[in-house]
Amino acid sequence: MSLIRQVWLLLGVTLALAIAGGFGISVESSRRYLAAQLTMKNNDMAQSLGLSLSQQRGDATAMELLLASQFDTGFYEQMRLVAPDGKVLIDRSAPLNKSNAPAWFVSWMGLSPDVGIALVNDGWKQVGRLEVRSQSSFTVDQLWRSTLLAAWLLAFLALMAGAVARYGLARIKAPLSATVQQAMALTERRFVTVAEPQVPELREVTRAMNLMVDRLRLMFDEQAGQVEVLRRQAHCDDLTGVFNRPHFLGRLKGLLSAEDGSASGVLVLVRICDLQGINRMLGRAEADALLRETAAAIEESGRRSVRHEIGRLNGSDFALVLPDVQSLRESAVDVAAKLRTLFRTREGDAFAVVGAVRWWHGASASSLLAAADQALARAEARGAFAVDLDDAGDGLVLGEDAWRVRLEQALAHRWVELAKFAMVDVHGDVIHFECPLRLRLDSDGAPVPAAQWLPMARRTQLTWRIDLLAVDVALSAIAVDGLPRSVNLSPSSLADDGFLPALRQLLLQHRASAPGLWLEVAEAGAMRSIELVRALVDQAHAMGVKVGLEHAGEQVTESGRLLEAGLDFVKLDASLVDGIAESAARRQHIASMLLMLHGIGMAVYAEGVNEEADAQALWDCGIDGVTGPVVKRA
């Protein structure tokens, strides 16, 4: 039983006892008072009438007439004169008047006043003993009316007391409920403080909870800051802050091979020519400033693509990856123009050159870099701020309308297939299956990964329907074999007004299978739509579905709001764990991130693990599960 119900029960019992006691005392007091009044009336009438009868000098007729006259003019039940020897000389009586009160009340009250007695004399001779008994029905009626009035008044007072108690308990319950919600928010990784109530005891509890929340938030912020420092040390260039060569290459490989990556894009290489000469001419400090400003200029140019990546490959070379960008020349020329503007503000003859190539999903990272390096060498041979392009042609053979028709057809005929890649724990047991969606774009075609059609699905605004179909297929498969499955959701789907209501309806239809479903949203997209992610989490948790981030690690510590969204798990991007066995800095970064995320109740998994040594290093760090080539395909 809850505390509030116990308080209500205590108040109810106390109030009931108080009312019952007050009511009983009131009724009993009235009963005793009225009985005493009747007794006094009987005695007074007996004494008065006895004196009158004594004055009749023993005249039996006169005494009978006087007694009859008095009996008829009053409300009496009996008047009688009894001789000393017990003989009844005169007896006048009437039946007991019927009371308006219920019989049970008359019986319960038992109103029986004493009989009034007086002696009747004839001089010194005793004539007899006069007994007078009044009618008690009118007294019972009066007692019944007063009892009803008391009952109504006490009932009204009980209602008023209940209203006051309800108001008082509501004032007590409000801060208690706020404290409970505050504690529940902590379990969902949300740090909430509440206003302190007026009740001193509750104020101390609330103050202690607020202090604990503030300290937990401070601890998390400090830990997140430490993890961010370790991330930069492990994956970023110390001077410019962009990705270092190993991490950039890992990101590039992941982008080229990811099931839900981009179909195509642009790779731009930038070289600052004669960096040693610039060091001698400008000095080390100025040269370092030039490198930082160059990285910032490339970063500004890269904003044409939301998911761009920038890295420093060596002392003088930078690389920029632009997914889903179609214009190779425009991208390269924009970088060159920004660098020309930057270098003109510097003294001397420092300059840069730009080489750019187009890439396609599934291409080899090494061959792509080799082609870009050759383009860069050709640009360097041409002179300052030259641009050289290596364009393999436009791979977007179909137009937007044609793509829409093919995607609509695939949805209508459910030409879909879910791949299955096992996510396993340290013992090799399957946690769930990664299930990227593949579409057949014609009736007899082979299923193709999302990288080939997802960009056009986004452009034609069909991602939410495709994601719903993927969830439907996964839930149906779970209903058949009971194996948990993880499905990717596009951030653009969450932004569609019809997606979440349709998802809720789908989960209701497959209520029994829903607890086996895992939903994933890419970290980059989740950061831009955290409110939509929170809405997804609330809806999914109501049906037992788990929600987490995929391709995570770069921004997971940059926003407390992301961790406050109530997510269940995080999947670290392959670029973070690639080569972790050979890098102490990477291991330290991953271990610190795991400690932070485990501390707030989130499971952490690793994507794209290629080597046994890397998997072992991750197990040593405390990872919850891994997937990738190191795990046999289901």
SS3 303: coil
Half-sphere exposure of 404 (CA within 13 A, CB side): 6
Q: What would the mean pLDDT of 584-604 be, rounded to a whole number?
A: 88
Tell me which of 100-109, 417-426, 580-589 is least confident.
100-109
Share of the chain above pLDDT 90, in %: 28
How many angstroms separate the CA atoms of 245 and 250, rounded? 9
Q: What are the tens digits of pLDDT across the range 374-411?
A: 998 889 888 889 999 987 544 444 566 788 888 888 88
Span(s) in the chain for CATH 3.30.70.270: 242-390
Q: In b/e form, how buried is each residue of 231-262, taking b as 16+ CB within 10 angstroms?
A: beebbbbeebebbbebbbbbbbbbbbbbbbbb
Homologous superfamily of 400-626: EAL domain (3.20.20.450)
pLDDT for 300 beyond 60: yes
- What number of H helices and E strands is found in the chain? 21, 19
The residue among 53, 209, 219 whose CA lies nearest residue 130 is 53
- Helix (H) or strand (E) holding 265, with range, is strand 264-272
How many angstroms separate the CA atoms of 374 and 370, rounded? 6
Confidence at residue 563, expressed as pLDDT on a 0 to 100 scale: 64
Confidence at residue 633, expressed as pLDDT on a 0 to 100 scale: 46
Q: What would the mean pLDDT of 491-507 be, rounded to a whole number?
A: 91
pLDDT higher at 251 or 486:
486
Span(s) in the chain for CATH 3.20.20.450: 400-626
Q: Name the CA dihedral angle for 345, 346, 351, 356, rounded to a multiple of 10 degrees.
A: -50
Alpha-helical segments (H) within 460-569: 463-481, 491-494, 499-509, 523-528, 530-541, 560-563
Its pTM surpasses 0.75 = no
Q: What would the mean pLDDT of 524-549 be, rounded to a whole number?
A: 89
Q: What are the tens digits of pLDDT across the range 108-161?
A: 777 777 888 998 888 788 888 988 888 877 778 888 888 888 888 888 888 888
Following DSSP, what letter does each residue of 519-542 receive, concatenated?
Answer: EEEEHHHHHH-HHHHHHHHHHHHT
Provide Rg for the chain, Cα atoms: 47
Q: What would the mean pLDDT of 597-625 be, rounded to a whole number?
A: 91
Judged on CB neighbours under 10 Å (0-12, 13-18, 19+), 355 is buried
SS3 395: coil
**Long-range pairs of 103-106 with CB within 8 A, sequence gap ≥ 24:** 105/140, 105/144, 105/147, 106/140
Q: What are the tens digits of pLDDT across the range 312-366?
A: 999 899 999 998 887 888 989 999 999 999 988 777 778 999 999 998 888 888 8
Span(s) in the chain for CATH 3.30.450: 3-159
How many angstroms separate the CA atoms of 619 and 624, rounded? 8
Confidence at residue 458, expressed as pLDDT on a 0 to 100 scale: 81
Tell me which of 17-26, 359-368, 372-381, 505-514 is least confident.
17-26
- Helix (H) or strand (E) holding 297, with range, is helix 284-302
pLDDT for 558 beyond 70: no
Question: Considering the domain 3-159, what is its CATH architecture?
Answer: 2-Layer Sandwich (3.30)
pLDDT-derived band at 604, boundaries 50, 70, 90: very high
CATH class of 242-390: alpha beta
pLDDT-derived band at 480, boundaries 50, 70, 90: very high
Q: What are the tens digits of pLDDT across the range 44-66?
A: 888 888 888 888 877 888 888 88
